[in-house]
Structure 1
Amino acid sequence: MNTMLSLPKCGLLAMLISLASAAALAASPTPKLKLQPWSHPQQLSFNALGFLPGAATTERLASAREGLFLLDEQGRELTRLEGAFDGLDSRALGANVLVASLDNTRQQATLVSLDPKKRQWGRPLYLPPRDFPVNGLCLYRDEASNLFVFLVGEEGKGEQWLVGAGEHLSATAQRVRGLPLPPDAKTCQVQDDSQQLFVNEERVGWWSYPASSEAETVRVPVAMHAPFGDIQHTAGALATVSGGVLGLDPKAAQLHLYQPDGETWTPRAKLSLPGLKEPESLAARRTKTGIEVLLRDDDDGRLYQGELDWQPSPVPLAPVLPSVAAIAQSEPVARQGDAADDPAIWVHPTTPGLSRVLGTNKKQGLLAYDLQGKLLQELPVGRLNNVDVRANFKLGTQTVDLAVASNRDRNSLSLFSIDRANGELREAGEIATSLQEIYGICLFQPADGELYAFANGKDGRFEQYRLSAPDGLVQGQLVRQFSVASQPEGCVADEQRQRLFLGEEDVGVWAVDARADQPATLSAVIKVGPPLHADVEGMALYQAKGRDYLVISSQGNDSYLVLDAEPPFAVRGAFRVGLNATAGIDGASETDGLEVTSVNLGGLWSQGMLVVQDGRKRMPEQTQNFKFVPWADVAKALHLP
């Protein structure tokens, strides 16, 4: 995966806004920093400092060649964990504190819990030895309270590891993903509320990355070395507070302050540090009146503390969406890159536990999984994009269930019969379309027993075909055509109301009469814009005892939207499929297709199942796959009736 560089917008409006922001900052008073030496009678060679988590705490943390330390406000030792440590970060862990550092003796990252009241250290958790030297590390707690540690290594090697959930440290750490970082990065910090990872590149500047384990790997410059920015010599240690970033230029003995300005960062102030020759370690936390800081001068090892009279303005944050977890996932598909696309659920007519999840691999063909995600069958028939399923199709004298997929190799519909006894799929034929670039497909089965397929192309055209096989050979009769203005893909038919929902990726969702003899008049269901983020991708219907919901993949913010499936199509809420720390299953993101059923499939699937394609398979990093989520958990998260 290549790291993408995201730079500030170059348009005239963006430039004017940036200049106006800079002018406003220049007109505001410059923050002042009052530093004073911090006594530490032990005269230990502390290499990293930190505040004990919690607004009312006065204790500090420190790492040194002699151990990990809990110190009082005057720097007196309260307790230590013996060893040789370098680097430090911490997060609250219930009533305890999780401390992360590098064990120099073992050359491994370590995490250990500390009970600050009893002044007792827990048993350390060591990450496995890495095949690269680790320069630094930092902790991150996500919006679902999962705990991670980032490793910063030499030659641009970075990693993210899951180390805990809620108030508990994991028994073992799990590698989530690799992360390409700057080649000479030494330190990192995470701003939990904005979910941003900050990393230094000593000779270039400071960078911001999305910290979420499901995020795309992009980076944004916070500040650059002169002449492209205001860093005179070296981008050194970082500290973060809500709404702001602090960075040290050790050779210039300067402290830089930055605050966000939309998608970019704006310099707030550049403060001299008189009396310090080479400030290296930096810690910061907000107080009621400003920011409390800790510093170490690498020249003589002296420690300093002080108060910075700066209160960064609160930054609007994206709403925290409820998170549900997959309890099963499919085996990864057998092709690299953007391969897995759309799922469908085939329900066994007599034994729901034997149902199957079908999935397309648009570089290979059609796949079939059991409800635990085990691959049972693969049909390498070509580049299939979307798939849908309906029961009771007359194939000559046989009654079979039918799966239909859009075939991008031949701009056709590929049909598959499903044995109603054992779920085995067989190729059942192909229907040509006149689409130039076929894309999406969904089926419509009105009460009269006929079966229709809606196929769409990238140019916005839809074609509706009546499917039949009176003599055992499938055929498709084109019965209607209509268009939307731009690229569509996902669609789903509501047989109860004879309505078709269709997605126009950059525009929104439309409804149209699904009957072939009716006008194709489009009516808006929901437009792109909060809470639906383009691209609009897969969609499905959950229907059970009057509870009819339309589920949509809101790909632009890695979420899923639930609407009433009847006018006025009220939004019931949005959620994400997050990481399942207990089961070791990563979350889902960049989702293309999805499917849902309300059928009781047994066990945790008693209220049905949601299946979503995962565009970024992590923990471990593998080819794409499909995640299986109990609908009961979605209903609980969104308080659905």
Structure 2
Amino acid sequence: MPSLRRSGLSPGLAFVLTTGCATITPTTGRGVDWAAIAAGNPAPIVTAVGETEAVATANADAADDPAIWRNPVTPSASLIVATDKRAGLNVYGLTGRQRHFVDAGRVNNVDLIETTIAGRPGVLVAASDRNDVSAAKVALYRLNTASARLERIGAVAAGPGEAYGMCLSSHEGEVDAFLVLKDGTIRQVALDLAGVVPSGRVVRTMKLGTQSEGCVVDQRSQRLYVAEEDVGIWRFDARPTGSSVPVRVASVDGRQLVADVEGLALAAEPDGRTLLVASSQGDNAYALFDIADNRFVGRFRIGAGRLGATSETDGIEVALGDFGPDFPSGLMVAQDGDNAPRTQNFKLVDWRAVQRVR
């Protein structure tokens, strides 16, 4: 989608709030002039305080999706794992410096979770492997948090189709990978990490009608959220025995969400609310929803500060807590689709800035 970068937006602009659950007419996005709609769709501005080094792949849409590991002992030594979907996986420190690169080929989305791997506690990294568009796989790595390196532990087959979105869930000591195929099929893969070589099996299949990608699981409620790009955001029961019927959370309407809906992230706020953050790619914004009642509570943009604005954002991630002096309350990482004159990268936002404009 072409950039819709705008200028002249004031940081003092207020959110447009709704009350109760929004009533929105669904649309596929076809034939809609999203650029014209976005022109009248202001949002408060926050600015990035950090950014990663640019990905190595030039002249292509390459940077895509990030995941965050928080170092509980030394928060400023936390790590970001992010995809170059044309080449592999990058590991960055919070200064933005690349610490490691793994040549994994075409891996699209990434997530991580702390769990037991081959009998040892560790950080599991899972990426949607689309090297073979006819055979979806989950590529699995251990993140060595001391050396900031990724150690490959294997891959798990997840049936036919093109792997696209990826998120992880933990329940009763088990880890599931949710693999979103490009056609809207969602496969829940139960991972077996007990042995040296991991394995897995598809325990459930769900379906959305059109192209989908971004996903995230609320571990507390065991709910899975999935972005159907031209339609909106849906919720599923994430438990293997749960219902496979989707519940609508929000629709593409040109106001709250502008197609494509891309990355999703969750922010468990200190006041007890959990916010769903969505990349509203069509107007270079980010929408916020309270997951308690699917209520829209605002939107914002990452504007042109010292490090430049974000535009055409694909993947996002949010992690709250202490990440050191630059991010004492939490960190948001957003892919930047236009980082000229350099190749694409990821911008880092102090979550306090988002809290101030909400």
Q: What's the TM-score bracket when you normalise by the shorter of the two chains?
A: 0.7 to 0.9
Q: In the alignment, what sits opposite 2:229? A: 505
Q: In 2 relative to 1, CA 474–576 (structure 1 residues): closer, same or farther, beyond 3 Å?
A: same
Q: In 2 relative to 1, CA 571–451 (structure 1 residues): closer, same or farther, beyond 3 Å?
A: same
8 Å Cα contact 1:343/1:612 also seen in 2 = yes
Q: In the alignment, what sits opposite 1:412? A: 137
Are 2:265 and 1:543 aligned? no
Among candidates 622, 636, 641, match of residue 342 of structure 2: 622
Q: In 2 relative to 1, CA 495–316 (structure 1 residues): closer, same or farther, beyond 3 Å?
A: closer
Q: In the alignment, what sits opposite 1:557? A: 283
Distance 2:181 2:350 in 1: 32
- Displacement of 1:604: 2.6
8 Å Cα contact 1:435/1:457 also seen in 2 = no
Among candidates 49, 52, 71, match of residue 348 of structure 1: 71
Distance 2:259 2:38 in 1: 21
Among candidates 178, 182, 188, match of residue 458 of structure 1: 182
Distance 2:122 2:38 in 1: 54
Q: In 2 relative to 1, CA 602–316 (structure 1 residues): closer, same or farther, beyond 3 Å?
A: closer
1:20-39 matches, cutoff 5 A: none
Among candidates 328, 346, 351, match of residue 631 of structure 1: 351
The higher-RCO structure (CA 8 Å, 6+ apart) is: 2
Are 2:164 and 1:439 aligned? yes
Q: In the alignment, what sits opposite 1:94? A: none
8 Å Cα contact 2:35/2:283 also seen in 1 = no
8 Å Cα contact 2:130/2:163 also seen in 1 = yes
Letter aligned with residue 322 of structure 1: P
Query: Structure 2 length as normaliser, TM-score?
Result: 0.87
Q: In the alignment, what sits opposite 1:330? A: 52
Superposed CA RMSD in Å reads 2.1
Q: In 2 relative to 1, CA 594–325 (structure 1 residues): closer, same or farther, beyond 3 Å?
A: same
| Cα deviation code 1:203-225 (max 9, x no counterpart) | xxxxxxxxxxxxxxxxxxxxxxx
8 Å Cα contact 2:162/2:182 also seen in 1 = yes
8 Å Cα contact 2:9/2:42 also seen in 1 = yes
- Displacement of 1:316: 11
Distance 2:246 2:342 in 1: 40
Q: In 2 relative to 1, CA 479–587 (structure 1 residues): closer, same or farther, beyond 3 Å?
A: same
Q: In the alignment, what sits opposite 1:586? A: 308
Are 2:208 and 1:488 aligned? no
- Displacement of 1:423: 3.5
Q: In the alignment, what sits opposite 1:34? A: none
- Displacement of 1:572: 1.3
Letter aligned with residue 456 of structure 1: V
Distance 2:75 2:263 in 1: 24
- Displacement of 1:375: 0.5
SS of residue in 2 equivalent to 1:635: helix
8 Å Cα contact 1:607/1:632 also seen in 2 = yes
Question: Greater CA radius of gyration, 1 or 2?
Answer: 1
| Cα deviation code 1:218-257 (max 9, x no counterpart) | xxxxxxxxxxxxxxxxxxxxxxxxxxxxxxxxxxxxxxxx
- Displacement of 1:319: 3.3
SS of residue in 1 equivalent to 2:353: helix
Letter aligned with residue 362 of structure 1: K
1:129-168 matches, cutoff 5 A: 142-144=8-10
- Displacement of 1:609: 0.4
- Displacement of 1:363: 0.8
Q: Aligned pair count?
A: 327
After TM superposition, the runs of 4+ consecutive aligned structure 1 residues lying more than 6 A away are none
Distance 1:507 1:593 in 2: 17
What residue ranges of structure 2 are gaps of 5+ in the alignment?
Answer: 12-33
Distance 1:322 1:430 in 2: 42
1:185-584 matches, cutoff 5 A: 318-336=40-58, 337-392=60-115, 394-410=116-132, 411-446=136-171, 448-529=172-253, 530-545=255-270, 546-567=272-293, 569-580=294-305, 583=306
Distance 1:550 1:634 in 2: 13
8 Å Cα contact 2:117/2:124 also seen in 1 = no
- Displacement of 1:421: 3.7
| Cα deviation code 1:434-475 (max 9, x no counterpart) | 1311111100112x1110000011121111011122222111
Are 2:326 and 1:600 aligned? no
1:41-52 matches, cutoff 5 A: none
- Displacement of 1:396: 1.8
SS of residue in 1 equivalent to 2:352: helix
Query: Structure 1 length as normaliser, TM-score?
Result: 0.49
Identity among equivalent pairs (%):
37
- Displacement of 1:424: 2.5
What residue ranges of structure 1 are gaps of 5+ in the alignment?
Answer: 5-139, 146-261, 265-314
Distance 1:566 1:422 in 2: 39
Distance 2:241 2:98 in 1: 41
Distance 2:166 2:38 in 1: 39
| Cα deviation code 1:167-202 (max 9, x no counterpart) | xxxxxxxxxxxxxxxxxxxxxxxxxxxxxxxxxxxx
